[in-house]
Structure 1
Amino acid sequence: MSRIRRALAGGLALAATAGVCAAVAGASESAEAERVRQPVVIGHRGASGLRPEHTLGAYRVAISQGADYIEPDIVATKDRRLVARHDNWLADSTDVEKRAEFADRKKTKTVDGTSRTDWFTEDFTLAELRTLRTEERIPAVRPNNAVFDGLEPIPTLEEVLDLARRHGVGVYPETKHPSYFDDLGLSMEEPLVATLGRYGFDGRGDKVFIQSFETANLRDLRKMTTVRLVQLINGSGAPYDFVESGDERTYADLVKPEGLKWIASYAQGVGPSTSWIVPVDASGRLGAPTTLVRDAHRRGLTVHTWTVRNENEFLPADFRQGNTAAPDHRRATGDVGGWLARLYSLGVDGVFCDDPSAGVAARTEIFGS
């Protein structure tokens, strides 16, 4: 029996039992069907461990590796076009700093309560934004990705959807900073729903999820569309719409049974940080698993956790490998298969992976092809 199969031997039995109990308890049809299938693998910002994130190249690699879904984070331009960027600031993932013609666009703004000096998508038309070229966001950790700097423009949502449709994979868009964009008069929800509809991603049964770290926009989306919605759960803090409205609840409140009950009134799933499923201590080692997966399933919610990355820097200490004194230890690949096996054993319904091939390989070894 392989290492991954040994890691799963006990855990899968427990997860299967939990899934049956959830169905008996009245889990929704869509959530139950999602759990019956093998866990889905979501290409996090594409295959962002292998190409600069949110590029068509990254999405193509994710698709070639067998990802079930590709994830475009969505922000708005000045002319209300939707593009794939992790945030609305640009300096860390494009060549905007090198572009003299845009020097006067550099501004200091407060985004979700944090001041930042940068260039921002809402100050560019789509045509202007498309003249920029993408770059690796964390070259110190992923220097190999930097060889692709300058090769691609920022993709539009339409381009991502067209790519997904042509290759038969799902899409998993995330609305970024929705309250911030609402305050600018650049609400993203309406154009997102309309654009998804034009590409055939508009029904509960379609391969599409919409996700957000905020709650108000998901509740608004519930009135606009029947596609599945996922409430993201950050490892700390609170949804910014809660902060802005004076709601004292935090993400820690949302992962409690009552919080999950409330989420189930408007969403079909939760997207928790892995630390809500298996906490880590100050040394980075894993503690005892929580009951979050079981509790979410009892409410009929799917659980898609994030983010599995191959490098030691991003793995729990239990799964790091190599010489810890080596200068490139942070960048070295750890036992990502073992970490995925652990998460699969706890019954998660999907994982966001920077290298989707790792998620697919572990899934194939555990569940078969």
Structure 2
Amino acid sequence: MTTNAADAGNPAKPVREEDAFDVAAVAAWLRDNALAFRDDLEGTPEVRQFPGGASNLTYLLRYTPQDRPQRDLILRRPPAGVKAAGAHDMGREFVIQHALAPLFPYVATMVGHCTDDSVIGSDFYVMEKIDGTIPRRDLPWELPPEEVSQMCESALDVLIALHSVDVSQSVELEAYGRGDGYVDRQMRGWTRRFGDARTDDTGDWSDIIAWLEEHKPGDVGQRMIHNDFRFDNLVLHAEDPQQVVGVLDWEMATVGDPLMDLGGMLSYWVQADDDEFFLMFRRQPTTVPGMWTRDQVVAHYCERMGFDMTPERWRFYEVFGLFRLAVIAQQIWFRYFHGQTTNEQYAVFGPAVGYLETRCRAIIAAS
């Protein structure tokens, strides 16, 4: 039985009061501005909210026209409160997916991007809802290890396909490239964001940041990268979980060093032999028997991409990925710490930042 993507492991629920918006205003805007499915957008949709995720707010818009099949759309908008500069850019998500569609068959159809804050108080975009299953913390299927291994390989091959996109075929995509120096720009940018999001309980990361600065490599290339590639941002075919049918959450996508993308992906990759806290931190099914280890992922990816990789060379990307994850967690914790959100799932992000600090130091010490 086919499961709707956003409903699997993350069922849509009534909209939280603090996240509500003017549904009639959105419906009117879509009737006037939709790029796709306009004939299906009669009346006012039923709206529910997806509780998963910790960054942008995501809603289901369900249209039920009398003479046509039900049409499910997804609306994305920024959270309330103070946000990091450049973060929660709805236009970026919209433009990148729209431009990628002819080159990469794993993006949703874009319906519209609204830049008029008077409609709901912020910009937003709407896209189609991809049918399938999102693998969250645990798989919704009982699969033998060999099928889990195949699922893992298929997911990595989609990342490799993304990193193989020729961005020169798209003026919109090419515009996101800033040339060599991506690793250096990432170091400066994430260090600045970390400083901007500090709270009274933030630890001292100065030695970790100094180590990263000392060991940062040059770019290996300029490729289309997702910057948040994880199992819970993939949509798998509900009947054939070895087949990826969609990639979601393009908020941080850009043109840059693909190894930085891989390092960011593996910062979330909790494997079965990790320590107790990291196992509790897990948000995707990477501990299932048959799932690859982080070392296996790196080896497969680098072989397919033609990169020569040693453990010593990989250590920078591993530590930077964890540092970047800590900054993301700290930004979310900042909002919760200052009462800008009442979502209780954000309460764990403060302790998570402290844990990631310890994990980075352990990897550096092992070198």
Q: Check whether TM > 0.5.
A: no
Identify the structure with bigger relative contact order (alpha carbons < 8 Å, sequence gap 6+).
1
Q: Which interval holds the TM-score relative to the shorter structure?
A: under 0.3
Per the normalisation by structure 1, the TM-score is 0.27
